[in-house]
Chain A
Amino acid sequence: ETGVTQTPRHLVMGMTNKKSLKCEQHLGHNAMYWYKQSAKKPLELMFVYSLEERVENNSVPSRFSPECPNSSHLFLHLHTLQPEDSALYLCASSLGTSGNNEQFFGPGTRLTVL
């Protein structure tokens, strides 16, 4: 595997389910990100991790819980979601967190909440 991978690619869940999204980067990067991409809206930054420490929680509801066990893996744990949480969830990584570091994106997980 190369680059940034995400699993699953598609997920359908009920509002009472608990599921997790997984992201893995094979680039040796130190920072990882979760974004939400909804139709008709700009990409929304959710969480930022730098060297496994969370440095940003962008006012995300507590039903989304991130976990970064090491610099290569990032999880997004989901519980008690709402239909408006249906979106494409993108993971990204970068070498560092300064502004000139380009972010490399995974293919995303398409989430549908029924």
Chain B
Amino acid sequence: AQSVTQLGSHVSVSEGALVLLRCNYSSSVPPYLFWYVQYPNQGLQLLLKYTSAATLVKGINGFEAEFKKSETSFHLTKPSAHMSDAAEYFCAVSVNAGGTSYGKLTFGQGTILTVHP
């Protein structure tokens, strides 16, 4: 079975600073990896996804993530934080295996990002 670990339940940065949200995954087969963002009182919105093409994936709102197989990581970064980036971020992994007829999406615990002026 696959799993995801997000290091740090809370991350705080200053506006304009680098954002780094960490995600490590575990999977016995090649994974598909996703980052979602959730703003207060809203559902989850896809930021970006890795589906075995380029290892550096660019998403919306200036975010990007790099798939590193050797480190089993898929960390999310943004060069310069904006106040509007304050939200909760979820890393998720999915595979096409495990005896199911569908790709089950497994989520991490989430990381709350706070951006200070």
Please indicate the chain B residues that have their CB under 8 angstroms from the CB of A76 in the complex: none
User: Is there contact, CB below 8 Å, between A99 and B94?
Assistant: yes
User: Is there contact, CB below 8 Å, between A98 and B96?
Assistant: yes
Please indicate the chain B residues that have their CB under 8 angstroms from the CB of A104 in the complex: 46
One of B32, B41, B101, B109 near A100 (C-beta < 8 A): B32
In the complex, identify which listed stretch (A40-48, A59-67, A77-85) lies at the interface while the others stay far away.
Answer: A40-48
Question: In the bound complex, how far is the Cα of B43 from the Cα of A107, in angstroms?
Answer: 4
Question: In the bound complex, how far is the Cα of B32 from the Cα of A103, in angstroms?
Answer: 12
User: Is there contact, CB below 8 Å, between A107 and B101?
Assistant: no
| Closest B residue to A43 using CB positions | B107
Question: In the bound complex, how far is the Cα of B97 from the Cα of A97, in angstroms?
Answer: 12
- Which of B44, B96, B100, B107 gathers most chain A CB within 10 Å? B44
Q: A41-B109, A90-B43, A100-B49 are in contact. List 4 more A-B contacts (CB 8 A).
A: A55-B100, A56-B102, A102-B34, A105-B43
Please indicate the chain A residues that have their CB under 8 angstroms from the CB of B41 in the complex: 107, 110
User: Is there contact, CB below 8 Å, between B102 and A98?
Assistant: yes
Please indicate the chain B residues that have their CB under 8 angstroms from the CB of A42 in the complex: 106-110
Kindly identify, within residues 39 to 67 of chain B, every residue whose CB is under 8 Å from any CB belonging to chain A: 41-46, 49, 51
Please indicate the chain B residues that have their CB under 8 angstroms from the CB of A90 in the complex: 43-44
User: Is there contact, CB below 8 Å, between A99 and B95?
Assistant: yes
A4 on the B face (CB < 8 A): yes
B8 on the A face (CB < 8 A): no
B104 on the A face (CB < 8 A): yes
CB distance from B73 to the nearest CB of A (A): 18
User: Is there contact, CB below 8 Å, between B102 and A105?
Assistant: no
Question: In the bound complex, how far is the Cα of B42 from the Cα of A106, in angstroms?
Answer: 8
Please indicate the chain A residues that have their CB under 8 angstroms from the CB of B105 in the complex: 45, 99, 103
Question: In the bound complex, how far is the Cα of B110 from the Cα of A11, in angstroms?
Answer: 25
Question: In the bound complex, how far is the Cα of B46 from the Cα of A4, in angstroms?
Answer: 13
Kindly identify, within residues 84 to 114 of chain A, every residue whose CB is under 8 Å from any CB belonging to chain B: 90, 92, 97-108, 110
